[in-house]
Amino acid sequence: MAHRRRLTVLLTTIVVLLGLCTWWNHRWSVLTHVRVPQTTTATIFLPGSSGRWLSLRSMVTSLNRPHLATFALTAHVSFAGRVSWQQRHAIRANNPLVPIIFKDNTHPQRQARQLLVVLNQLHRRYGINHINVVGHSSGGTIIYDYLNNRSQAPVTVRRIVTIGADFPERTPLRRVTPSCNWLNLAGTIGALDNDSEVPVATVTPLAHLVAQRGVHYHFRRYAGPVWNTQHSLLHENPALDALIIRALYPPN
């Protein structure tokens, strides 16, 4: 009898695990139908407060497909702002992806200054002239503060996607690249007006901060169940990845 019980538990566990694997693979299948043009514009990824490689790993690796983009480089920034590079693939017209990992990852204004060093090196060492930016949570604040700094790297910021980012105590944007496109995303769990950490009301003020600065601004509320829209799970959502890659590399 005990043997039969153990066998039942084992079979049930196997069925549940197979079901979860099937569901997980089905979630990612949405990306197999996406097609975007291949360009030399690099997309940099900025994680939020206390964010490390795991914060945006899923998004970067899910887009690392021949017909979407190529995970080309990782920039590691020390506390002192020194940058070390890890190259995985050559940078060509393959939509290169470049996650940036800050050792000091809780001070967005300092990280914005360190970002200047990263982008200068990206231009000088790898010949990157145009970039897109994806910022999750305070990663959005980092790119905002960078754009408001007096000194900027010789790269053109073409498109920005901010995810669950708020902009506390920020002054209106002083300048930005003409015709920059900015997609500002807010997650909402079910009927709530927040993603468990960031209310929509603190995301939407970005519209006023970038007004009159030549920014093509778009806001989108992304609603759904908690496993798709909770603050730390927004960047684990393949449907959101598909939306983002289309926004970064729109059809010609």
Task: Spell out where the chain has E strands.
Answer: 42-46, 70-71, 73-77, 83-87, 96-102, 130-136, 156-163, 181-189, 216-224
Which pLDDT value is given to residue 213? 80
Tell whether 243 is covered by a domain: yes
Inter-CA distances, 77 with 52, 102, 110, Å:
11, 5, 11
- The DSSP secondary-structure symbol of 52 reads -
CATH code, domain carrying 188: 3.40.50.1820
Tell whether 149 is covered by a domain: yes
Tell whether 1 is covered by a domain: no
More confident residue, 116 or 29: 116
Tell whether 26 is covered by a domain: no
pLDDT-derived band at 1, boundaries 50, 70, 90: low
Which pLDDT value is given to residue 11? 55
Q: How far apart are CA 117 and CA 122, in angstroms?
A: 9
Tell whether 70 is covered by a domain: yes
Summarize the confidence of residues 181-186 as an average pLDDT: 97
Tell whether 63 is covered by a domain: yes
pLDDT (tens digit, 9 = 90+) per residue, 21-59? 444 454 567 888 899 999 999 999 999 988 888 788 889
User: For the CA atoms of the chain, what is the radius of gyration?
Assistant: 20
Nearest to 39 by CA among 158, 191, 213, 176: 158
Summarize the confidence of residues 107-125 as an average pLDDT: 97
Residue 56, burial from CB neighbour count under 10 angstroms (0-12, 13-18, 19+): buried
pLDDT (tens digit, 9 = 90+) per residue, 189-234? 988 999 999 999 999 999 999 987 889 999 999 999 999 999 999 9
Rounded to two decimals, the pTM is 0.89
First to last CA, the chain: 66
More confident residue, 248 or 65: 248
pLDDT (tens digit, 9 = 90+) per residue, 131-181? 999 999 999 999 999 999 989 999 999 999 999 999 888 989 887 776 899
Residues in contact with 55: Cβ distance below 8 Å, sequence separation at least 6, in sequence order = 47, 48, 136, 235
**Torsion region of 190: left, alpha or beta (phi above 0 gives left; psi -120 to 50 gives alpha):** left
Structural domains of the chain, count: 1
Q: How far apart are CA 95 and CA 183, in angstroms?
A: 18
Place of tokens 């139908």: 33
Q: Using an 8 Å Cβ cutoff, are 37 and 61 in contact?
A: no
12-51 burial code (b ≥16 CB/10 A, e <16): eeeeeeeeeeeeeeeeeebbeebebebbebbbbbbbbbeb
Q: How far apart are CA 14 and CA 79, in angstroms?
A: 46
**Torsion region of 169: left, alpha or beta (phi above 0 gives left; psi -120 to 50 gives alpha):** left
Q: Which domain holds residue 123?
A: 34-248
Tell whether 121 is covered by a domain: yes
